[in-house]
Amino acid sequence: MTPGLCGRCRHAKELHTKGGSVLYLCGLAASDPRFDKYPRLPVLRCDGHALPL
């Protein structure tokens, strides 16, 4: 499955589980309750999306 915006966001970290699944951890969730720690993919709209530096 394509991650949508998370795949190219500086706040997202790609995590791989032992079972082979891929999750995206949103770094903004640690300081802002508006963001899900593990958003449902694909993310098509996000107020916190930022391209990598």
Tens-place pLDDT, residues 18-49: 999 999 999 999 999 999 999 999 999 999 99
d(CA 2, CA 53): 22
- Identify the pLDDT of residue 9: 98
Confidence of residue 1 (pLDDT cuts 50, 70, 90): confident
- Burial (CB < 10 A; 0-12, 13-18, 19+), residue 17, is exposed
Supply 25's token pair: 């951890």
Supply 37's token pair: 């720690």
Task: Name the nearest CA neighbour of 5 among 34, 53, 40.
Answer: 40
